[in-house]
């Protein structure tokens, strides 16, 4: 019980980290979500789809992150990295597993809402609302833009020098395309 009360009574992080743009965080999450959705959509049975979703999510968001210096596929594509807010370095596997276990359940609810709930708009809104709450909390945090699961496990998403800069490249391609259309 002592551990629970220590977790719930949080003091602020020891230092302020550079803020990752919230749009990049959203895009990185959506890329990871779409990749895992694609893998789990290959399975037709709902219970088996949940198991495949959680396994693929763990592989992409825990195994890959520990292997590739804090970056999953989405975070690499958008130059982001996850760090431990207290130590300033990559979180250990147990912290990442707990963190991603919590967010994977919320992401799977969003998947169910998007995949099966389109005829009923109310069910889509109900199943996606935990993701929206996470987003609103991250936007509302002025210091580190931590969502609920980030605060609970003391993790921070920060900009990285490693990555593909997909959003910048897409913006350049669109600008180039617009220039060519004007000519």
Whole-prediction pTM value? 0.88
Report the pLDDT value the prediction gives residue 5, as an integer from 0 to 100: 42
Distance in angstroms (rounded) separating the CA atoms of residues 108 and 128: 9
Report the pLDDT value the prediction gives residue 45, as an integer from 0 to 100: 83
First to last CA, the chain: 68
Q: What is the DSSP string of 123-145?
A: HHHHHHHHHHHHHHHHHH-TTT-
Q: Is pLDDT at 42 greater than 70 in this prediction?
A: yes
**Half-sphere exposure of 180 toward its Cβ, with a 13 Å CA cutoff?**
6
Tell me the pLDDT tens digit for each residue of 118-160.
Answer: 788 888 899 999 999 999 999 999 888 999 999 999 999 999 9
- Taking the CA atoms of residue 101, residue 103, residue 108 and residue 109 in that order, the dihedral angle to the nearest 10 degrees is 130
Helix (H) or strand (E) holding 27: helix 22-41
Q: Which of these, 96, 87, 37, 68, lies nearest to 162 by C-alpha position?
A: 68
């Amino acid at each position: 019980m002592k551990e629970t009360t220590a977790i719930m009574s949080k003091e602020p992080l020891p230092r302020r980290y550079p803020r990752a743009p919230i749009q990049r965080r959203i895009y990185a999450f959506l890329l990871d979500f779409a990749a895992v959705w694609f893998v789990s959509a290959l399975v037709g049975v709902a219970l088996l789809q949940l198991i495949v979703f959680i396994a693929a999510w763990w592989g992409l968001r825990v195994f890959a992150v520990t292997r590739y210096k804090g970056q999953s596929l989405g975070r690499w594509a958008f130059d982001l990295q996850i760090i431990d807010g207290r130590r300033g370095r990559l979180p250990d596997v147990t912290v990442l597993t707990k963190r991603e276990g919590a967010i994977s359940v919320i992401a799977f609810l969003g998947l169910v809402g998007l995949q099966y709930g389109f005829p009923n708009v109310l069910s889509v809104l109900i199943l996606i609302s935990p993701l929206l709450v996470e987003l609103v909390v991250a936007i509302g945090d002025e210091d580190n833009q931590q969502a609920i699961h980030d605060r609970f496990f003391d993790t921070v998403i920060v900009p990285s020098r490693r990555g593909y800069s997909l959003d910048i490249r897409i913006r350049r391609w669109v600008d180039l395309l617009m220039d060519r259309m004007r000519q």
